[in-house]
Structure 1
């Protein structure tokens, strides 16, 4: 029975590259998952991007499109993270930045009987430097990935135990090169990365994902922010910070 690759697909550059490389180049089956976060402004844009890319895969290669199983969509509010994992996450994040998906995704996998899922963490990504010394390489025919070493199963790093990391040796520019060589670069141009899309559908150019895209060689895809967008972005950022301070009791009253 052919292996099915479970992938958290956001419509972003890294996860999209992995999906396309698997179905077009390696002829593998992919089961994509999308987690709806109601606080994430880019949700509709990401889902639209995923379905658009699938449609264009079908134009290129119908058999490849058939290797992408129907997208599983779950609301994040229906996932209950275990307190033990939350505690591990809090201790880890106190030493370095770590995305919150590494605390609620393990709970999602456990609740749905899924053994492992692939992460789009890549070379020069923050998570790559975070886990590089604690993973082992697993060969898989014409493919390979990294997983947490067994000796860390009883440590805080165990929150990574259900993740496969197939892109740790690839930078965004490496992925772009392979996409060009493989004939699906035009699909990679459809990917989405901005957290806070503008009304005209363009990236904001100010959020962290936009900044990361520029830092990782994708500056040509990030528009220069307009002055009114700049003012609005930082005004909202200030208001959100003030609100958090009040909620956490750090606001002062005179």
Structure 2
């Protein structure tokens, strides 16, 4: 019997969030509300939107009740997100202590506070080729599993981690390779390869040198990288100045 409870999912058209979307709709028979935050300063926005259009089209072809299962996507411009001092303060405390805590999490914290979302899913994945950073390792120790998902425990040992209270982490113990095998097993691997990953496209194609491109190659997903990106990756690795 399908679960009619709505899953709130942050979607970017990328591999991880697309995997979660496909699993929810095609395997778990769930209802999903998508959220997308437009950051006009991000060079990959156009490619992300095109990827989302391709993926939605393929899902619509496979799901008879598409309009009732996938609710209207909530699109918000970055500058529309209101200030929220408590979330910003917690973010800054974590960033100072752990260093590698991207600025997108600051506005995501403000976003869930403004929208009143208590369970926004972030598709942060595991990685079998490199260790998790100290912040994410510490967070994992404070997560509890609940209905095939992970949330912050009720009384975290570090109060700064209350920043993550309104988020869920369904993929935090799942690698990209595991996602690929699962998608193939359940027949939606073709949809997965419509997703986007590069942060700084070169002539509309993956650049081969940004962090997501690097991870695609080193995490065993190099088939997603076009030849031009692979060449740029190699040149970058041996010290050629590109871009």
What is the alpha-carbon root mean square deviation over aligned residues? 2.1
Cα distance per residue 1:15-67 (max 9 Å; x no partner): 00000000000000011110011110101110111111010112223335641
Give the corresponding residue for 1:147.
151
Distance change >3 Å, CA 130–CA 202, structure 1 → 2: farther
User: Which residue of 115, 131, 138 corresponds with 2:146?
Assistant: 138
Distance 1:106 1:17 in 2: 23
Give the corresponding residue for 2:196.
192
Distance 1:174 1:128 in 2: 19
Cα distance per residue 1:177-229 (max 9 Å; x no partner): 11000100001011100001122x2100011111122222212222314469x
Give the corresponding residue for 1:22.
24
Give the corresponding residue for 2:230.
224
Cα distance per residue 1:131-156 (max 9 Å; x no partner): 110111112xxxx1111111129811
Structure 1 residue 169: Cα displacement: 2.0
Distance 1:12 1:53 in 2: 10
Distance change >3 Å, CA 130–CA 97, structure 1 → 2: farther
> SS at 2:36's partner residue?
strand
User: Which residue of 39, 52, 55 corresponds with 1:53?
Assistant: 55
Does the CA-based 8 Å contact 2:82-2:110 persist in structure 1? Answer: yes
Give the corresponding residue for 2:12.
10
Structure 2 gap segments, 5+ residues each: none
**1:175 aligns to 2:179 (yes or no):** yes
Structure 1 gap segments, 5+ residues each: 234-254
Higher Rg of the two aligned structures: 1
Q: TM-score, normalised by structure 2?
A: 0.86
Does the CA-based 8 Å contact 1:54-1:65 persist in structure 2? Answer: no
User: Which residue of 161, 165, 175 corresponds with 1:161?
Assistant: 165
What is the count of residue pairs matched by the alignment? Answer: 227
Give the corresponding residue for 1:107.
110
Give the corresponding residue for 1:204.
207
Distance 2:221 2:109 in 1: 30
Distance change >3 Å, CA 113–CA 92, structure 1 → 2: closer
Q: TM-score, normalised by structure 1?
A: 0.82
Further displaced range: 177-186 or 55-64: 55-64
> SS at 1:183's partner residue?
coil
